[in-house]
Amino acid sequence: MDPGHRTGAPWRAIDKRLICNGNQESFRTMFARDSIIVWHFKSFRRKRRRMRGWAVNPSGPNVRRLARPKELDAWIKTLQPIATPRAPHDEPPCG
């Protein structure tokens, strides 16, 4: 994923670019108490503690902790496909 230059909520708040239904992003809504950004930072430690607990508990869910992009790449290479790819359809894509 390469979103390019000047994308995301902060840039939309600066340049007042219109988003869905003519709305505009603002720093006030971006950092309001009910924003997803604030929620992420407020809940990060709790979620991290929970996931680390799962990782050391053998009877808990299967957790694989990957700390570096190289670890992720190596793990992905070990995965096997669970289905065969379908042939392309003659129909145009939706949208």
Each domain of the chain, given as residue ranges in start order, spans 9-77
What letter represents residue 81's amino acid? P
Ordered per-residue pLDDT tens for the chain, 95 residues: 445 556 677 788 888 888 878 888 888 888 888 888 899 999 999 999 999 999 899 898 988 888 899 999 999 999 988 887 777 666 656 54
Report whether 24 contacts 16 (CB < 8 A). yes
Instruction: Locate all alpha helices (DSSP H) within the chain, ordered by sequence.
Output: 9-15, 27-30, 36-56, 69-78
User: Tokens 């995301």 belong to which residue?
Assistant: 8
